[in-house]
Amino acid sequence: MSQPVANCPNCGAAVRFRFSSAVQSVCEYCRSIVVRRDVNLERVGEVSDLPPDPSPIQITTEGIYRNRPFVVAGRILYEYEQGGWNEWHIVFSDGKSGWLSDAMAEYAVTFGIIPTPEPLPPVEKIHRGRRFRWYGADYQVTVLTPARYRGVEGELPFEYWNKQQVLFADLRTSDARFGTIDYSERPALLFLGESVEFEALRLKNLRRVEGWDA
């Protein structure tokens, strides 16, 4: 875990990249979105205030997935018809990045699959019920979710800031495997992983929830 410190190109405040895999961060003072370009930091945008969020997870939350400890480094917040959800960027102790998604307190851990096992269908060809056979499992598209990129926080492993509408195709299997095709890029991005129970993640350093114990 390296902690290079640079200065925000906008306000001059120190911007730390605590994770070597992080490419993008947010200045905690002026909320500028800064990305690493070679040795320089470039301001690419600014995050507006994020709406109040019921998630018990926050940046610096720690957990364990399949016996490997991780820490939450950043997040992308999306909104869709039924509310909002977070894609928490988690960094494992070996520096590997993953995603902990939290939608209405339903959790899933996924990893970006590069390259994809097969070319993904273009956005106009994806539909509910479409099946894929990847790595010995039958994935089926269960729901297409048109979402709105709402904002980012903390450190991300790629540049992600100038988004508007994003279509997601959720994939499920007959067991608890889970996947998402993210049509925010061309070609689309694939994330595969599994649904996880809250208790199984053994999360620490959660947000406090008034009147409740974790």
Partner 1 sequence: MSTAPQVRSLNCTNCGAPLTIRAGGHTLTVVCARCLTLLDARDPALGVLQTFQDRQKVEPLIPLGTRGELRGATWEVIGFQVRRIVVECVPYDWSEYLLYNPFKGFRYLTEYNGHWNFVATLRALPEETVARGRRAVRYLGRAYAQFQSASARTIFVLGEFPWQFRVGEAVYVSDYIAPPQALSVERTHNEEAWSLGEYLPGGEVWKAFKLPGACPPARGIYSNQPSPHGSNARSVWAVCLALVVMLAAMMFLFSVGTLQEEVFQSSYTFSTASKGETSFVTPVFELKGRMSNVEVKVDTDLENDWAYLSFTLINEQSGQGFDFGREIGYYHGVDSDGSWSEGGRDDRVLVPSVPPGRYYLRVEPDMNDEDGRAHSVRYQVKVRRDVPYNLFFWIAGLLLLVPPIFVSLRAAGFEKARWEESSYVTEMRSGGEDE
End-to-end CA distance of the chain: 28
Chain positions 84 to 113 lying near partner 1, rule: CB under 8 A, are 84, 104-106, 108
Residue tagged 């001059």 (tokens): 12
Contacts of 37 (CB under 8 A, 6+ apart): none
Task: Name the minimum Å distance from CB 101 to partner 1.
Answer: 12
Map residue 52 onto helix, strand or coil: coil
Residue 133 contacts partner 1 per CB under 8 A: no
User: Is residue 49 close enough to count as binding partner 1 by CB under 8 A?
Assistant: no
The DSSP secondary-structure symbol of 48 reads: P
Q: How many CB atoms lie under 10 A from the CB of residue 172?
A: 17
Footprint of partner 1 on 154-213 (CB under 8 A): 172-178, 195, 198-199, 205-213
Q: Choose among 159, 144, 149, 146: nearest CA to 43.
A: 159
Is residue 10 part of the contact set for partner 1 (CB under 8 A)? no
Per CB under 8 A, the list member of 53, 62, 92, 130 interacting with partner 1 is 53
Q: How far is the CB of 194 from partner 1 (least distance, A)?
A: 8
Nearer to partner 1, 52 or 119 (CB): 52
Cα 165 from Cα 149, distance rounded (Å): 6
Quick check: 134 binds partner 1 (CB under 8 A)? no
Closest by CA position to 98, among listed 72, 116, 117 = 72
Q: From the CB of 144, what's the least distance to partner 1, in Å?
A: 8
Q: Is 48 in the site for partner 1 (CB under 8 A)?
A: no
CB 192 within 8 A of CB 179: yes
Q: How many residues bind partner 1 (CB under 8 A)?
A: 38
54 binds partner 1 per the rule CB under 8 A: yes
- Residue 56 as a binder of partner 1 (CB under 8 A): the answer is yes
